[in-house]
Structure 1
């Protein structure tokens, strides 16, 4: 289940085909990624920019990260789905949010970075309840 990969945003306005294997797949717990992911880590795959064929409008916002690099986040201008990250230290490459890549694929993180900024619950190795779909409603009070 390798390349090519396809991807789409929630509304389908942005689609992509990726004709390469990623250099890496990893989770990032830096505070900026936690903000982008509403409190979780982002899960990302790094691909060469020239391997990505994109349709639709991607909107970009940038900031200076703690590393000193300029980071830009790319998202669908229609539905807001997070799609890409660009880093001034990785010219010629785009970070693709794993959720943008359509299944089936076998991409999975091989590392987790910025754990110093992760909440304790993300580092404790504990277990959480798992549900295959929507959990049952809470008991009536």
Structure 2
């Protein structure tokens, strides 16, 4: 690559919804919250955060919004053709997006450093060695 920047590419199962992210991610995490589990049909969602300016999307997406942990909206985007879950955030309105690591063309660079909402983790959904677990979001005080 001629510009020397890190580049992540990926998209949905059928290829109709694609993205390219350039530069270093803001973070890599595993989310075990109930919403992510339900949306993915798995025990967690692996995410990579990028500033909005670092990502280019191509193709149409459909979105689904649910109530987030903080009372706001969690917006998940998927391909309207194959239904593949690709990224989080409201397209065109966010300062950053979460790319779902399962949608990467090459998943090898994904190295999560934290697990969030570990308090919601099913026993069978393991946290990899070396990943720091937080019951909620890092820095969030427990309720009560």
- Aligned counterpart for 2:28 among listed residues 25, 30, 54: 25
- In structure 1, C-alpha distance between the alignment counterparts of 2:123 and 2:19, rounded to whole Å: 35
Instruction: With the length of structure 2 as denominator, give the TM-score of the two structures.
Output: 0.77
- In structure 1, C-alpha distance between the alignment counterparts of 2:107 and 2:127, rounded to whole Å: 30
- In structure 1, C-alpha distance between the alignment counterparts of 2:6 and 2:62, rounded to whole Å: 25
Equivalent residue number for residue 119 of structure 1: 122
How far is 1:63 from its partner? 1.3
Equivalent residue number for residue 15 of structure 1: 18
- Aligned counterpart for 2:37 among listed residues 18, 25, 34: 34
Q: 1:58-137 maps to which residues of 2 (within 5 A)?
A: 58-86=61-89, 91-103=94-106, 105-122=108-125
- In structure 2, C-alpha distance between the alignment counterparts of 1:81 and 1:123, rounded to whole Å: 24
Stretches of structure 2 that go unaligned for 5 or more consecutive residues are 129-144
Describe the SS at the equivalent of 1:102. Answer: coil
Instruction: With the length of structure 1 as denominator, give the TM-score of the two structures.
Output: 0.78
1:117-137 deviation per Cα after TM superposition (whole angstroms, max 9, x unaligned): 111223588xxxxxxxxxxxx
* Count of aligned pairs: 123
- Aligned counterpart for 2:60 among listed residues 57, 60, 68: 57
Describe the SS at the equivalent of 1:50. Answer: helix
How far is 1:104 from its partner? 5.8
Change (3 A) 1:77 1:23: same
Stretches of structure 1 that go unaligned for 5 or more consecutive residues are 126-141
- In structure 2, C-alpha distance between the alignment counterparts of 1:17 and 1:86, rounded to whole Å: 15
